Each structure stands twice: as C-alpha cells, then as structure tokens.
Structure 1
C-alpha cells in the first residue's frame, strides 16, 4: 500500500511539473521582444504580400487574431500530434526533423561520456573512501583540479596537443568532410575517432565531482553502526564494501546522475562550440541567435521532458535500493 501511495504521489508531482514546463514553454517566446516573422522576412528579402505574412503567422502559430487561450489549446493539440512547428532558420523544415538530426550526435557523445565518467568516478570514489589514508587519496586533488579548469581551456589544450601537435585525433566536427552518414563500419570508426577527444575532455572535466562525492559518502557510511556490525561478524571485506557501504553511499550519486542524464539532451554547449560538433547545444544557440522561436520551443520541450524522465527513473531506482524512501514519503 505504501509503495502504491509513493508512486502515485510522485506521478502526480511529475505530471504537474510537466504541465507547468509546457505552459511556460508556450508563453515564454510570446513575451520575448522582437517579431520572429519579421526576422525571417529580413533574412529572405523580396516582395512579400500581406496575405503571405498572415499565412506565415498562421503556419507558426503566431496568429494574433486568435485569443491567447485558443492558441494555447491549439498548441497542446499540435504537440500531442507530434507537430512542433516549422523552423524559421532551417528553410521551414519541420522542427521534429531538425531536432532528430542533431539529437543522436549529442546523445551518442555526451551520453556515453557521462555514463563513463559516472561509472569510473563512482568506482574510484568507493575504493578511495574504503581505503582512506592510502596513497590513492592523491587522485582526489588531481581530479578536482581538472574539474576546476574552464572547459574551453581544456578543450583548446587537448586540440593543440593531441590534434595539432601529435595528430592522434581530428580537431573538429563529427566526421570528415565529404563523408556521408551511414552504418558503414568505416564511417562508424571515423565517427568514433572524431568523438574520442571531446568525450575524453568531458570525462576528465567531470570525473572529479563523482570521485569526491562518492569518497565523502563512503567515509560517512563507514562510521555507521551496521557497517561496524558487519565487520565485527567477520564478513568478507568485499561483501561489506559492496553490500553494505557502497550500496548506501551511491544513493545520493544516483540523483545527481539522473540530472546529468537529463541534461545530456541539452548537450555540452561549450564542447560543441570548441569542437564544432553538430549537437543539440549548438543548435539551440543558433536558434536563439536567429530568433527561431518554434525550434527554441521544440528544443526546450525535449530537454525539459528528458530531465523529468531521468528524475522519474532516479526515483524508481532510489526507491528500489532504499525502501525507507517509499515508507517516508508515503
């Protein structure tokens, strides 16, 4: 009963959050200064009739003849039908197609790098916390130092050393010029080679936070009575580490990991700019500069829903690993 009540409360909370986010996503562009239609016409010079301008406003859902409430209702209807509008800066291409073209690059690169960073950092943090006071502690200040270095500096240094200097990796883009995206093994290897350097910089830049967080939680958990009792019973050290200490110490990490997964869709904007990578973050910056409101709305919607889904999965994992959560919130 407590479990059902817990999940019902969380479902109601996330449904309300999703409604609020989508509502803000609808109203925010309409309160911003500037006219996206006029900006579009300025980029496409020529004689445009008033009728054509009115047609564009209707096409982009900016028809001021309709009451705002009716526009809001129409927006929900279009969203449920999968129609996020047309991109002003991408030749009136459907927003869903534009986002779908950029999304795999961001998820493939930033997603894999985030999972690697979390896994390696959590494992190292648990081992360092378990053997506190050993030589392994030196990894904490080293990894923390790299986390404090501005990412664009780290990216530029990596390009200067490993791309320009040693020539081990390409300096930019997701694949070579003249290549056509496909599932051909040669193209896949080319994508991996182009993505290795930015992925490594993401892992190195974020590794310190995971190590430090897990190490501190391990030190706190090791002072708990149930760990002391487990050790006094003579249980193997590996079992005490994995079943008692690490299992409880990783719980706060899961919530942070869920947030990191949610923001994967937003991409690492600085990384995409430094390495000229065709991801969602760079697409959002270009849409903002072009006042492409439909594309901005679509990107914000995808990012928001992804963050919510990631948090839902984190809540489920948290409840499975720690039954006390269900009992407390229920």
Structure 2
C-alpha cells in the first residue's frame, strides 16, 4: 500500500467535495429570502405608524444591513471572495458575535469532542464485547439479553431520555433540576451527554460485531485453535482479528451520520456550547462565515476519517490493497 497515494487521493476527493458543498451552502443562503432582514424589517414597520417614515427607515436599515455583510455586491463577486477566503483559511469574523471564526470553531469543536470521544470509546468497547460474546455463546440467555438491551437503548430517542431527566422533580419542589445541575455540573454537562451519545452508536456496533463474528466462530481455523486447548480469550482474539476489517468500516463511516444527528440533538437539549449548537445558531442568524468555516471542518474530519480507515485496513490485513 502506498500511503502517499492514498493521502493524495483522499485529499483530492476532499477538495472536490469541499468545493461542491461550499458552493451549495453559499447558493442556498444567497438565493433564498433573508429571514434575519425580514425580521428586522417587520420590527421597524411595527415601530413606525407613518407609512412614509416606515419605508424610509426600512430602506436605510436594509442598505446598512447589506453593506455590513458584504451583500450589496454582485453575487459572483461575493462567491469569489468567500471561496477564496475558505481556500486561504482566512475565514474572517462571525457576523453575529464579531469573534474570529477559526478560534470560535476550534473552541466549539473541542467542547463537542470532550463528550463525543469518550462516547466513541464506551460504545466501541461495549458494542464489541457484547456482540462478540453473543456470537461465541449462541443461544445463551445472557447473550440475547445483552443484544436486546443494546437494541433497546438504540431505539429509545435520546432527546426523550434527556427531556425526562430535565423534567424530574425532587421531593416537594415544583422546580426542575436546575439547582441540582449547579451542584453536579459533571453529571449533566459531561456524563449524560457521553451516555446518550454512546447509546446512539451502541446498537449498530453490537449488531456489526455479532454479525461479523458469527462468520468466523464456526470456521475451521477457530475449531483448530479450540482443539489445541486455547482459552476463550485466545479464541476471541482470533475471531476479532478476522472480523476487524468490516467492523472498522462501520466505525469510520456509518457512525459519522449517527454522530452528526446526535450532536445537534444533545447540544440543544443540554445547552452545550459545542459545534452542533454553534452551527444551528449560525443558521438562525445567517452567519455565513461560521457556516462555511464549519462546513470545512466537517469535510476535513471526513477526509481524516477515510485516511485512518484506509491505513487501519493495511495494519489489520497487509494483503488488503487500499489504493
């Protein structure tokens, strides 16, 4: 496997995807009605009873709004400037907060990774263990119970669980759990997001680990290993080693889609100032610099994930030609 060729191939693919997605996002926000401007216009018209006075105020506000956002220029000129800024990583400043976009995105991404990475580790370890155990102990009630619990957790909506937690009442108090959050921020700002994110991934990991392990448990070489008196742990290592490639494929591809949805839901639910909540607020405010910069972040993570996946194939099985 030529690592440089893989890297060049993935980067080239990432550039094409980045250009396509960034262009789509730019056009969606440039060719649709500006709801932020419409809202400000509505407030002005409500504040001014006189029609002529209202029209003058709206006209002045509109010109100032468009000029402040660079929207008073031809759309082709805007497109060239925005795409040039994205390519040179000169992302400017947030239109909402005035903060530099790059540090803003880095800070939000770090907050998101603080609970996503532990959730990935928990889901991966638990999913692999449960799926492997169920495959090696087919028909056992403990294996079926573990798989059933994993599927149940996957099926229960995370937003519902989180909403139930925030609806708890303590003793005779009618207030919600805000006072409790103040005394245990680790629980509600870190542990619960980790648990809910892990449950989103757990069902898929269990299913894939069990299905791919079942392909090798009855294999001849596994029977031979068992005949030589190998321990259950030793047998499990042989099964995992052969089932690892398709399992890692799921880890780096299908998990991304589930995580994207989970991040938006969990960060809105718990008020976590992470990547998902930042992008939602940017959409509401039509903050194009943050949206385009966030899009670049997502694409970069996708490209890096694909590179790690290709390299892991070669490490797990040198016979695989990932180029």
* TM-score, with structure 1 as normaliser: 0.77
- Asked if structure 1 preserves the Cα contact closer than 8 Å seen for 2:134 and 2:210, the reply is yes
The aligned counterpart of 1:310 is: 305
Matched, 1:103 2:113: no
- Asked if structure 2 preserves the Cα contact closer than 8 Å seen for 1:147 and 1:207, the reply is yes
Matched, 1:250 2:250: no
How far does residue 114 in structure 1 lie from its aligned partner after superposition? 2.0
- Mapping 1:256-271, distance limit 5 Å: 256-259=250-253, 260=255, 268-271=263-266
Matched, 1:149 2:145: no
Deviations 1:77-112 (A, max 9, x none): x3454321222222x322113212322211101221
Q: Which moved more, 1:257-266 or 1:15-24?
A: 257-266
The 1:123–1:84 alpha-carbon spacing in structure 2 relative to 1, beyond 3 Å, is same
The 1:49–1:124 alpha-carbon spacing in structure 2 relative to 1, beyond 3 Å, is closer
Number of residue pairs aligned between Structure 1 and Structure 2: 300
How far does residue 194 in structure 1 lie from its aligned partner after superposition? 2.7
C-alpha separation between the residues in 2 aligned to 1:37 and 1:278? 23
* TM-score, with structure 2 as normaliser: 0.78
Counterpart secondary structure, 1:324: coil
The aligned counterpart of 1:180 is: none
The aligned counterpart of 1:118 is: 124
C-alpha separation between the residues in 1 aligned to 2:73 and 2:178? 41
Structure 1 residue aligned with 2:315, among 304, 311, 320? 320
- Asked if structure 2 preserves the Cα contact closer than 8 Å seen for 1:109 and 1:199, the reply is yes
Supply the RMSD in Å over aligned alpha carbons.
3.5
- Asked if structure 2 preserves the Cα contact closer than 8 Å seen for 1:171 and 1:194, the reply is no
Matched, 1:19 2:15: yes
Matched, 1:140 2:138: no
C-alpha separation between the residues in 2 aligned to 1:314 and 1:171? 42
How far does residue 55 in structure 1 lie from its aligned partner after superposition? 6.5
The 1:35–1:29 alpha-carbon spacing in structure 2 relative to 1, beyond 3 Å, is farther
C-alpha separation between the residues in 1 aligned to 2:263 and 2:22? 25
C-alpha separation between the residues in 2 aligned to 1:114 and 1:10? 25
- Asked if structure 2 preserves the Cα contact closer than 8 Å seen for 1:262 and 1:308, the reply is no
Deviations 1:1-50 (A, max 9, x none): xx22xx34422331222111221243123322237698399489875696
Gaps of 5+ in 1: 177-185
How far does residue 214 in structure 1 lie from its aligned partner after superposition? 0.8
- Mapping 1:1-330, distance limit 5 Å: 3-4=1-2, 7-32=3-28, 33-34=31-32, 39=37, 42=40, 47=60, 53-54=66-67, 56-57=69-70, 63-64=73-74, 71=80, 75-76=83-84, 78-79=85-86, 81-90=88-97, 92-136=98-142, 137-161=144-168, 164-165=169-170, 176=182, 190-191=185-186, 194-242=189-237, 244-259=238-253, 260=255, 268-326=263-321, 329=322
Q: Which moved more, 1:80-89 or 1:315-324?
A: 80-89
